[in-house]
Amino acid sequence: MELYTVVTSALCTLLLPLLLIITATKLWELYCFSRRDTSCHWPLPPGTMGLPFFGETLQMVLQRRKFLQLKRRKYGHIYKTHLFGTPTVRVLGADNVRHILLGEHRLVSVQWPASVRTILGSGCLSNLHDSQHKDMKKVIMQAFSREALENYVPVMEEEMKSAIDMWLQSGSCVLVYPAVKRLMFRIAMRLLLGFEPAQMDPTHEQPLVEAFEEMIRNLFSLPIDVPFSGLYRGLRARDIIHAKIEENIKEKLRQEPKSSCKDALQLLIDHSRKNGQPVDLQALKESATELLFGGHGTTASAATSLITFLALHKEVVQKVRQELESKGLLSNKPDEKKDLSIEILQQLTYTGCVLKETLRLSPPVPGGFRVARKTFVLNGYQIPKGWNVIYSIADTHDVAEIFPNKDEFDPDRFLTPFPEDSSRFSFIPFGGGVRSCVGKEFAKILLKIFIVELCRNCDWDLLNGPPTMKTGPIVYPVDNLPTIFKPFSSTC
């Protein structure tokens, strides 16, 4: 009898929690299913909604690529899930993405997860809508005009030469990803926010870089602001960044611009003064933080991928050098060496193909977030009003039929133009539609200069071979890419 009682008690102890979990999960699935639009006869996409409240957020954050690959293999190009507290549909493939990106304001509108909106703030471009977004984008685009970009080239070249010289003189391995992040951060601080080099000594710069890393790490977290949570850490890091930017804004407000070519922050300040209203300091800090995030995080990721692919494909480096030599950019004689300019950079066709191929295989930003403004049908499935919609850049590149041998690094594939209809949404490293990246021309020029300076100044080898890549939320190498740099000397 006692044995029976013990066994019964043990079974109850084990089974009751299990039954409660199963019941809660089933009720959660029923609740999520009830969120469908019953007025639409089309079914919801296939997929699972995960655990109550948490959904599949934890699996996605912890496993990222593995999680997304499993989902894609099991459910195809459209599937449902539950991420960051909201039912979500994830889409990939050129045709599906085309509907999302061209459906802005009609089918969908931008809506990043609550943690992103909280940390970056409501005043930044990514979180603005309709006329406010249009007006702000118009202002910021002035900082990326051809004239502005032409003025940026010498600063970009100066910073890159200085960084590469340090890598060459180190005499030991360089952890590329942190080094490139510091480089791109300095460039963004100078060109986008107007910081002077004297304001960016390593003592003050490093804490700011670390704060940015902490903020970015916690951008995509559960929307719970309690001590030690991801959102809490992200907000504390954001406050450090805001304090530094506020110093710069107040300095700009006290002085007249020193140059006719204004940085993006100065343009935003001038725009905020137009109507005679008091300057909205918080909105300016949010916009400046977003500019720094977009201006250095993504370019650092892409530059790290460039070093990786070029190290693994020495024949591509040789072809780049041949192109540089043909344009007079490889000469060792100072009187023969041409200065870089927008015009010359645009003539570097093959170098541009190297950049495109890098962005195809390793886009820094894996996708974008939208929310359904109304229920609509996509490829036979209903997307209910209010559900989040994530479009995937990386997976869309991966499944694009216009790229044969898609796993190979082959810049030559971009030498022949693709038909416009088939390629427009098969290759979208900067997004598309009215929400495409405002700084894409800035990024292209910056990364082209990076390729030029690398290939005409050094050779390099990866100490650990091809790296394992992780997304958090920007793509980066897990080992930070330890690399040995050696001087390259042209025989020209």
Kindly give the pairing relationship between strand 469-471 and strand 475-477: antiparallel
The count of C-alpha atoms lying within 13 angstroms of the C-alpha of 193, restricted to the half-sphere facing its C-beta, is 34
Say yes or no to pLDDT of 1 above 60: no
pLDDT (mean) for 131-154: 88
**pTM for the complete prediction?**
0.88
pLDDT in tens, 166-221: 999 987 899 999 999 999 999 998 888 888 776 666 666 788 888 888 998 888 88
Say yes or no to pLDDT of 21 above 60: no
Mean predicted lDDT score pLDDT of the chain = 86
Amino acid code (one letter) for 425: F
3-state helix, strand, coil in the chain (%, to 5): 55, 10, 30
Q: How far apart are CA 65 and CA 221, in angstroms?
A: 17
Identify the sign of the CA torsion 45, 471, 239, 231: positive
| Superfamily for domain range 35-487 | Cytochrome P450 (1.10.630.10)
pLDDT in tens, 375-391: 999 999 999 999 999 99
- Each domain of the chain, given as residue ranges in start order, spans 1-32, 35-487
